Amino acid sequence: MCAAGLIDIKRRIKSVESTRKITNAMGLVATSKLRKCRKELLLNNKFVESTEKIVKKLASSISDEEQSIYFNGNNSKDKLYIVMTSDTGLCGGFNANIVSYLETLVKKDDGDTNVVVVGKRGIGYVKKTGIDPINEYVDISDLPTVTEAKIIFEKALEMYINGEVSEVNIVYSEFISPVKQQQKSTRILPIEKLDKVSSNCIIEPNVEQVLGDCLNIYLKAKVRSILLSSKCSEQSSRMTAMDGATQNANDLLSNLNLKFNRIRQQIITQEISEIVGGAEAQK
């Protein structure tokens, strides 16, 4: 009976050790990806900041009488939410927290809500809330490119310009530090009125065309920054989840080894008792 118990515990120890190797490796991979993603996020944020300065100068050249859909909006009452989720799992409550935050935002809206999901894992979570996504983008790389940001942004811009939605908001997990991420909603359209700044620029061929081109570049870079921030949060959540899983495996192994040693000690004690008893019986 005891021997059978030892075999079963050995099998469980081997299984847990195998799981621990996987979770530990996944934690290391997530750490490496997070480091690369943070570096890319920092560089892209610098580009966004420099582009924003140019946009402010160009916006200051527009007179109060001139109208720009980028700033003044349209007459629609509907809103568009682009939800950033992950394409893969094993990242703790990353996706559930984002979708839960989206649900609270949707409940506050008066008009109809349109939702676009970025990431495979978020599709199921969103549908469980009773929201049917109008579009889905999957297989986003760990280091999102400008092309991927462009694909997501251009459809949203088209809906906004055509008057289908009055706002374009991105719901994502903002990366603050490896141990802190915060669910956030950022409105990218319409853009808040920029403060007037002095501008001595000569703009050719005209302000409207140059401003439109600059805003497209700026907004795409902004979307990419949000994508990168979301990916950083995802890798950070996965790193934390895998570290926790590895620690749980270590605790389980410790308990199993203790149980194994106790049963083995019982078997040894029983065998010694039988030997001593047999020797006493032969006297």
Count of Cβ atoms closer than 10 Å to residue 136 Cβ: 14
R_g of the chain, CA atoms, integer Å: 29
Return the pLDDT at 66. Answer: 61
- Check whether domain 27-239 has CATH 3.40.50.10070, yes or no: no
pLDDT, tens digit, 9 for 90 and up, residues 131-188:
899 999 999 999 999 999 999 999 899 999 898 999 999 999 999 998 899 999 999 9
pLDDT, tens digit, 9 for 90 and up, residues 36-71:
999 999 999 999 999 888 887 777 776 655 667 788
Averaged over 245-268, what is the pLDDT? 91
pTM of this prediction exceeds 0.85: yes
Of 18 and 205, more confident: 18
Position 116 pLDDT exceeds 90: yes
User: Band of the pLDDT at 271, cuts 50, 70, 90?
Assistant: confident
Return the pLDDT at 198. Answer: 55
Report the candidate in 44, 54, 41, 46 with the shortest Cα–Cα distance to residue 213. 54
Do 56 and 91 form a contact (C-beta atoms < 8 A)?
no
Return the pLDDT at 13. Answer: 93
pLDDT, tens digit, 9 for 90 and up, residues 193-251:
655 555 566 666 776 777 778 888 999 999 999 999 999 999 999 999 999 999 999 99
Return the pLDDT at 3. Answer: 66
Average pLDDT over the chain reads 88
Tell me the residue length of the chain.
Answer: 283
Provide the residue ranges of all domains of the chain, joining segments of one domain with +.
27-239
93-125 as b/e: b if 16+ CB within 10 A? ebbebbbebbeebbeeeeeebbbbbbbbbbbeb
Return the pLDDT at 48. Answer: 92
CA dist., res. 39 & res. 281, Å (int) = 78
User: Band of the pLDDT at 82, cuts 50, 70, 90?
Assistant: very high
Position 255 pLDDT exceeds 60: yes
